[in-house]
Amino acid sequence: MSRAKKECISFLEKHNVNLDSEIDFEVNGKLHTLSFRYILDTFMMASDESQQLFLTALKKSLKSKGMGVERFFEGMGQLLLMTHLSKNIEI
């Protein structure tokens, strides 16, 4: 497990955030459910620099009055879905 992933998990546990929390997304009438854990695991497969950016953004989200951890994971989940869907588009 990468250092960034360990830090993310530790940070979330410290702030009583359940990694098994889920967010529902509706895309083209189809419901997609992603857990915080899945989103974290997926982003932790990226480069070391990307992992550090994720960790930094996660920490800032908790300090932000308007964002919060749930909104952070909602945004990251949307990004994952958009990336996945764009790779599956036939031109």
Summarised one tens digit per residue, pLDDT across range 59-79 is: 998 887 667 889 999 999 999
Residue 33, strand partner residues: 24
Predicted local confidence at residue 63, as pLDDT: 82
Q: Per-residue pLDDT averaged across 31-59, rounded?
A: 94
HEC sequence for 16-78? CCCCCCEEEEEECCEEEEEEHHHHHHHHCCCCHHHHHHHHHHHHHHHHCCCCHHHHHHHHHHH
pTM for the model stands at 0.86
The domain locations on the chain are: 3-87
In terms of Cβ atoms closer than 10 Å to its own Cβ (0-12, 13-18, 19+), residue 58 is: buried
- Given a cut of 70, whether residue 85 has pLDDT beyond it is no
pLDDT tens digits, one per residue of 11-38 = 999 999 999 999 999 888 889 899 999 9
